């Protein structure tokens, strides 16, 4: 019998060990192939303007995807090897050399890999169209798209997958080489023995874990976060939260359970014997993987929540930057005549098309200003410097249809979305001194406006809105600094697309119309949510499967206990009650901690949403995640039920 015969025989015999690993491999190929197809497909590249905008995003996502697949496949491979360690030992016992055994395993791995590659590719071809339609819908493209087989995607998938197979084969080789015969025979029943933890130390470390997470949360949302060391601070928060999470799994939970158990004084009951006892027993071995799962979950949740919020808030957030439907600016390449002249022409075009609108001339004064206040943000360098401020007349803005607050005489409201996140409540009020001709106008800046008041060049600098009288006074002192804009706001938003086409020749090199900007950010955010959703799904399925696999092997290890319990007269239903409680912990704790982490993460960046309440989109994203995640818990419980049922 040759080695290949042996391989084929053992593969036929061991089908039930294989399917898990095989599934992991197929899943990897399919995901990667779909992802690769979408970024190499010419129609996708055209329709989404991919090359210019999101190519780097797709590339970064590809690396992340490869990373998660590597973690997932090596994990499945380890588990697979562990389950077969007795078989590997047996081969050696009957005289196969280590070299022959590792050759056998590697041939198997390559055969499995090749099979998974073909199946995965087929599945990928079938479903990639579905994903393409989803992507097109998300970026707001309506029309027919054709998806063809992409040679580049095939090649990329093949290379990535070959790397995966080489890495796993090498690990197999390494494991066989390093193994002792005796370990191989004990591997599947190797269990750590529960130890009585040192009470003082575990109490200290247990509390420290929670404290570290708490500190990370507090720091991320405190004012200390936003300074010149932002990146360093973020790393600090990550380090604290992840270490804290590890300690929570490694010590805190075990410690709390010890307290509960001590309190029970031996009267643990069946449910406790099947939940708290095995959980404590395995907390040490599981701490690392639970930390990884929690961190991945938190990352996925934060990413998905954030991306979905971006997508969800696209319209409102675009309004922050582009307040008017159309704006005629006075500066710009290829523009002839004054803004009023061009506005008149655009208005005539709109009239011709039968589109209703409000046309409102807006003037502003571009002046030097200096700001003084007790809590001006250091990062802006306002203190002691002269900055440019564009002063707007609130009467004109109101006439153009903007819903903004009206400053009192001698006061001003600052509008600057770019730095809004730095202008917290404690900055206000501060004093502004505006150089208007020979005089200096003193204004008290009382608050931050919710949005820009004009886009384009007028919006590059901070905008100060002042009352009508104040504006007139400043203008009289410095009439030369006046700039002229004309804002158009449509009577019916349905006409936006048509009007946007008419506006194109007036636009020049600046995007001054709402519709175009909105469409662009929608497609940007669409691709973004597609990528995060895709990655999120990959992460979710990986973490869910890892937990499922882990619980499968735990169920195998605990089978003997179930047999004993059944013999002692406990019914399957009674045993399942305890097992469900255990699964609630195993799946629930990473989910809950991951959720809390991600909520704090999103909270700390939520300042970029100027005018949208993101509670709803974040909740939807998190619920969707939790729901899919719980499917794995249900599957796991089903597997346990089968095991318990078969135990007697």
Partner 1 sequence: MTNTNQTQGRIVLQANQVRKSFGSKLNSTEVLKGINLQVREGEFVGIMGPSGAGKTTLLNVLATIDRPTSGTITIDGNETSKMKDAQLSKFRRDKLGFIFQDYNLLDTLTVKENILLPASLGGLSKKAAEEQFNDFAGILGIKEHGHKYPHEISGGQKQRTSAARALVNHPSMVFADEPTGALDSKSASALLGTLEDVNKSRGVTIMMVTHDAVASSYCSRVIFLKDGSMYSELYRGDKTRQAFFQDILNMQAVLGGDRVDAR
The answer to whether residues 510 and 456 touch, using CB atoms and an 8 Å cutoff, is: yes
- Give the number of residues in contact with partner 1, rule: CB under 8 A: 28
Token pair in block for residue 543: 């973490």
Identify any residues that bridge with 432 across adjacent strands, giving them in sequence order.
Answer: 371, 443
To partner 1, the closest distance from the beta carbon of 584 in angstroms equals 18
Half-sphere exposure of 105 (CA within 13 A, CB side): 30
**Among residues 564, 611, 615, 619, which is the contact residue for partner 1, using CB under 8 A?**
564
Give the other-Cβ count within 10 Å of 71's Cβ.
Answer: 16
Cβ 366 vs Cβ 434: under 8 Å: no
Identify which range of 51-59, 63-71, 278-286, 428-436 contacts partner 1 by CB under 8 A: 278-286
Which residue in the block uniquely carries the two structure tokens 């395993």? Answer: 105
| Shortest CB 195 distance to partner 1, Å | 8
Residues 439-458 that bind partner 1 (CB under 8 A): none
Helix (H, G, I), strand (E, B) or coil at 198: coil
Say if residues 359 and 343 touch (Cβ distance below 8 Å). Answer: yes
- Residue 479 to residue 365: CA distance in whole angstroms: 8
Of positions 233, 370, 511, 563, contacts partner 1 by CB under 8 A: 563
User: Which region, judged by CB under 8 A, interacts with partner 1, from 47-55, 264-272, 395-403, 541-549?
Assistant: 264-272
Among 120, 278, 323, 456, binds partner 1 (CB under 8 A): 278
Smallest distance from the beta carbon of 281 to partner 1, in angstroms? 4
Q: Which is nearer to partner 1, 23 or 585 (CB)?
A: 585
270 contributes a contact to partner 1 by CB under 8 A? yes
State in angstroms the smallest separation of the CB of 573 from partner 1: 8
The only residue of 67, 99, 269, 418 in contact with partner 1, by rule CB under 8 A: 269
Look at residue 326 and give its three-state secondary structure: strand
Altogether, the residues listed in the chain come to a count of 648
Q: Smallest distance from the beta carbon of 303 to partner 1, in angstroms? A: 37
**Under the criterion CB under 8 A, does residue 576 sit at the interface with partner 1?**
no
Alpha helix stretches (DSSP H) within 139-198: 151-178, 181-186
Interface with partner 1 includes 134 (CB under 8 A)? no
CA distance linking residue 252 with residue 208, whole number of Å: 9
> CA distances (Å), 230 to each of 213, 217, 233, 421, in order?
19, 15, 5, 13
Given candidates 312, 570, 587, 629, which one binds partner 1 under the rule CB under 8 A?
570
Contact region with partner 1 (CB under 8 A), list: 180-188, 411-419, 502-510, 560-568: 560-568
Q: Say which residues have a Cβ less than 8 Å from residue 253's Cβ, sequence separation at least 6.
A: 279, 283, 589
Cα–Cα distances in Å, from 261 out to 323, 396, 575? 62, 72, 19
* Token pair in block for residue 57: 């995003």
Q: Is 569 in the site for partner 1 (CB under 8 A)?
A: yes
CB-based contacts of 618: which residues, under 8 Å, 6+ apart? 305, 308, 309, 599, 602
If DSSP states are collapsed to H, E and C, what string results for 544-569?
HHHHHHHHHHHHHHHHHHHHHHHHHC
State yes or no: residue 345 binds partner 1 (CB under 8 A): no
Q: Applying CB under 8 A, which of residues 571, 607, 616, 623 lies at the interface with partner 1? A: 571
Give me the 295-334 binding string for partner 1, x by CB under 8 A, dash otherwise.
----------------------------------------
Shortest distance, CB of residue 566 to partner 1, whole angstroms?
7
176-215 footprint of partner 1 as x/- string (CB under 8 A): ---------------x-xx-x-------------------
Q: For partner 1, which is the closer residue by CB, 280 or 602?
A: 280
Q: Which is nearer to partner 1, 264 or 440 (CB)?
A: 264
**Which H helix or E strand runs over 76?**
helix 55-83
> Could you tell me if 405 and 447 are in contact, meaning their C-beta atoms sit under 8 angstroms apart?
yes
Of residues 243 and 563, the one with the C-beta less far from partner 1 = 563
DSSP string, 427-487: G-SEEEEEEETTEEEEEEEEEE-SS-SS-GGGGTSEEEEE-HHHHHHHHHH-GGGEEEEEE
Say how far apart CA 108 and CA 184 lie, in whole Å: 19
- Measured from the CB atom, the residue of 276 and 618 that comes closer to partner 1 is 276
Question: How many other C-beta atoms lie within 10 A of the C-beta of residue 509?
Answer: 9
Of 45 and 273, nearer to partner 1 (C-beta) is 273
Residues 273, 344, 404, 628: which binds partner 1 (CB under 8 A)?
273
Residue keyed to tokens 């390449």: 333
Select from 227-235, 271-279, 354-362, 492-500 the region that touches partner 1 (CB under 8 A).
Answer: 271-279
Among 12, 16, 178, 267, binds partner 1 (CB under 8 A): 267
Selected binder of partner 1 within 129, 398, 444, 566 (CB under 8 A): 566
Tokens of 290: 């639970």
- How many CB atoms are located within 10 Å of the residue 229 CB? 12
Q: What minimum distance in Å lies between the beta carbon of 282 and partner 1?
A: 9
Residue 281 found at the interface with partner 1 (CB under 8 A):
yes
Shortest Cβ distance from residue 187 to partner 1 (Å)?
17
Give yes or no for residue 277 binding partner 1 (CB under 8 A): yes
Among 52, 63, 231, 568, binds partner 1 (CB under 8 A): 568
Q: Supply the minimum distance, in Å, between the C-beta of residue 276 and partner 1.
A: 9
Q: Which one of 9, 442, 560, 642 is in contact with partner 1 (CB under 8 A)?
A: 560
Sign of CA dihedral 595, 596, 597, 599: positive
Is 78 a binding residue for partner 1 by CB under 8 A? The answer is: no
Q: Which residues of the chain form contacts with partner 1 (CB under 8 A)?
A: 191, 193-194, 196, 265-270, 273, 277-278, 280-281, 560-561, 563-571, 574, 648
């Amino acid at each position: 019998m040759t080695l290949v015969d042996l391989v084929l025989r053992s593969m036929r015999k061991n089908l039930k060990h294989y399917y898990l690993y095989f599934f992991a491999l197929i899943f990897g190929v399919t995901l990667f192939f779909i992802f690769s197809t979408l970024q190499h497909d010419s129609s996708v590249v055209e329709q989404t303007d991919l090359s210019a905008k999101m190519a780097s995003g797709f590339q970064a996502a590809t690396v992340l995807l490869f990373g998660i697949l590597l973690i997932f496949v090596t994990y499945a491979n380890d588990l697979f090897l562990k389950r077969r360690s007795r078989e590997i030992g047996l081969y050696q016992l009957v005289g196969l050399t280590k070299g022959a055994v590792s050759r056998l395993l590697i041939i198997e791995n390559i055969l499995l890999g090749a099979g998974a590659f073909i199946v995965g590719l087929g599945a990928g071809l079938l479903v990639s169209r579905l994903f393409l339609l989803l992507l097109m819908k998300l970026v707001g493209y309506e029309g027919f798209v054709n998806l063809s087989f992409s040679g580049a995607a095939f090649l990329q998938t093949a290379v990535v997958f070959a790397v995966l197979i080489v890495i796993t084969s090498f690990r197999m080789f390494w494991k066989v080489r390093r193994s002792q015969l005796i370990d191989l025979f004990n591997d599947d029943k190797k269990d750590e023995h529960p130890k009585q933890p040192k009470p003082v130390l575990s109490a200290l470390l247990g509390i420290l874990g929670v404290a570290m997470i708490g500190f990370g949360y507090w720091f991320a949302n405190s004012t200390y976060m936003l300074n010149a060391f932002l990146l360093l601070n973020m790393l600090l928060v990550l380090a604290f939260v992840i270490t804290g999470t590890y300690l929570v799994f490694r010590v805190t939970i075990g410690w709390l359970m010890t307290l509960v158990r001590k309190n029970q004084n031996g009267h643990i009951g069946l449910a406790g014997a099947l939940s708290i006892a095995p959980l404590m027993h395995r907390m040490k071995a599981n701490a690392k993987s639970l930390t990884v799962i929690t961190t991945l979950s938190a990352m996925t949740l934060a990413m998905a929540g954030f991306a979905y919020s971006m997508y969800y808030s696209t319209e409102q957030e675009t309004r922050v930057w582009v307040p008017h439907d159309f704006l005629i600016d006075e500066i710009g390449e290829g523009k002839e005549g004054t803004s009023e002249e061009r506005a008149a022409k655009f208005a005539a075009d709109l009239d011709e098309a039968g589109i209703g609108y409000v046309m409102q001339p807006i003037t502003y004064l571009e002046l030097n200003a200096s700001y003084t206040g007790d809590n001006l943000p250091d990062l802006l360098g306002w203190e002691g410097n002269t900055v440019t401020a564009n002063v707007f007349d609130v009467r004109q803005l109101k006439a153009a249809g903007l819903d903004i607050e009206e400053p009192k005489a001698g006061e001003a409201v600052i509008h600057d979305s770019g730095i809004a996140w730095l202008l917290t409540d404690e900055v206000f009020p501060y004093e502004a001194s505006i150089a208007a001709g020979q005089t200096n106008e003193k204004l008290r800046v009382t608050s931050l406006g919710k949005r820009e008041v004009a886009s384009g060049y007028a919006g590059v600098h901070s905008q100060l809105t002042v009352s009508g009288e104040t504006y007139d006074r400043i203008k009289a002192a410095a009439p030369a600094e006046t700039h002229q804009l004309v804002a158009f706001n449509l009577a019916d938003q349905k006409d936006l697309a048509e009007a946007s086409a008419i506006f194109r020749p007036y636009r020049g090199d600046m995007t001054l119309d709402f519709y175009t900007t909105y469409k662009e950010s929608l497609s940007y955010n669409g691709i973004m949510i597609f990528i995060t959703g895709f990655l999120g799904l990959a992460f979710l399925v990986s973490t869910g499967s890892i937990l499922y696999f882990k619980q499968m092997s735990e169920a195998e290890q605990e089978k003997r206990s179930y047999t004993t319990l059944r013999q002692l007269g406990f019914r399957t239903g009674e045993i399942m009650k305890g097992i469900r409680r255990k699964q609630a912990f195993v799946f629930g704790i990473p989910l809950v901690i991951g959720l809390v982490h991600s909520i704090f993460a999103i909270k700390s960046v939520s300042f970029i949403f100027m005018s949208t309440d993101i509670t709803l989109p974040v909740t939807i994203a998190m619920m969707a995640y939790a729901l899919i995640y719980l499917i794995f818990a249900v599957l796991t419980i089903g597997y346990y039920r089968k095991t318990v049922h078969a135990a007697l």
